[in-house]
Structure 1
Amino acid sequence: MLDKEFLRLKDIIEDHILDFLPEVDHKSITLYDAMKYSLKANGKRVRPVLLLAACNFSGGNERLALPYACAIEYIHTYSLIHDDLPAMDNDDLRRGIPTNHKVFGEAIAILAGDGLLTSAFEAMNKDMLLYFDNIDKLKSRIKAVYEISKGSGCRGMIAGQIADIEAEGKQCSTEMLDYIHLNKTSALISSAVKAGAHLGGADKDMLHDLDEYAENLGLAFQICDDILDIEGKEEDMGKKIGADKEKNKSTYPSLYGLENSKLRVKELTSNAIAVMEPYYDNAEFFVNIAEELAVRIK
């Protein structure tokens, strides 16, 4: 069962997920419909929730961080739309509903992903325009946007996706597998936490701890998904099960086996929890999320 605070923050994201999309001319309403279709699907909202939680933890105001939280969900959703395309993973189901290209066609799906990516940066930059008279708050927002840009780009998520594609059907080294997972999944999770920390005004030590926590959590999250692709249920996952084996992808279970992969998840979640334990009750949310992750694969 998800942490109550997680569910509270998730509800806030759900209520405002469309608020930061730009107005779209009716002549291109299909673009908006396709973007909205994937955004409103039943996503876990892990990244935006972590951003809001990190902002709160660092002493900030979650409401002021909403443009950045929704922006990171726009980026994540764009990546899923593109991942599902025939040229990439060629999936028919995402978040329990037909993938974007199955409903709108490949060309519209590509443009919907493009629209979400650019809308994310429009939303964040629009918010920054409000703080030209407050240099400290403007700097914190610039740092947040930089973290999100880095985590979603060619030094983060996209780098991991490229490596993942090129590793299909090949014998993958342990070093390369870690590289794939740390970039493909962990980078954007880390960016969410660090962006929230910047927005909340975290000091250097707190930022370091949150970064270490997020890296462990992000890697555990991807390994957990690798495991659930074998042992999970389609109705719970919201997508086809067994796709990794079908595509001969490099995963932790394929390289290390299921039991060793489960042990690695437990190790990583323990590391994440240990980083946050010195903050005692203030870090309860982050500890609960890590514990919940480990429970998913029991």
Structure 2
Amino acid sequence: MFVRVGMVALSLVLGTGCRDESASPTKAPETAPSAAPPASAALTPSRVESAAPSPAAPSLPALPSRKVPSKTLADGSLLGEFSFERAAGDEGMAWLAAEDACVAAGKHLCTATQWQAACEADPAISAVETWTLTPERDAGFFVRGGGVGCGRKTVAPGAQASPFRAGACCTPALAAAGRDIQPAMLRAMAKNVLDLERTLNARRASALTGFFDERVRVFLKEKSRAEAVAVFEYEFGKYEDYAAVHELCDFSVPADNETYTADCRKISRFGGKVGHVLTRYVFVAGSGKLRSITDPAIYRAFAEP
């Protein structure tokens, strides 16, 4: 769910530890100091030759691309189908490098929601600790896996790299929820948001023309369609790393049925910073044209990962 807090005015995580969110804190085991060998035990040349070097950390197993079918999540929301893949050599990367590797492959780091769905489809995924795209509210990013079963969840600073942590890549999919909205309609609404996301991430402002209504409110001001396109053209030119990923959207339809609203958790990146915000889209019913885009809430302010 990619947003911009800086863009609320449309001017559009880091220690070294990793804390476990699924278990009570435990003290890290202390390493006992190694005793120096007595002089009589000094290595002889033959013993030096037989001393084996410390083994290097093993490469983590790759997981070829596989489809994760659409499903209804525990909270009742509908998550669309997506592909999940973990490439060879993706271990030992900090969050940003892992995300860049996924973007280069035409995907993004799996959100925490996508990782959970993929793990439930194939529990073997849980064996490897994996970065997700989803930021934690205060600092760092959610890390999933690294144990038995799909329940382990920790948080790690984005700058922290581990040879035992990988970075799985997913194609776009969001979880769609909506009270009294039929599943078929929810899927259509989610597709509209994902189509918009794909266009934003292509950073071609002219392609947004078909998404905007004749008049559209862009954060703080109402603009003509051409003016709204110009705003994004400026932003795309200024921030070459601009990206947005919607993790879940809560849809609602007012009594007049003239519009529908999508309140989406969006993970945004621009100018070397990453944020997590609530973006509210108002679409025209029928045409699906975007009439308004605002950021009514911030889950985590933009900061360097």
Task: Provide the TM-score with structure 1 as the length reference.
Answer: 0.26
**Structure with the greater alpha carbon radius of gyration:** 2
Structure (1/2) with the larger strand percentage: 2
Task: Provide the TM-score with structure 2 as the length reference.
Answer: 0.26
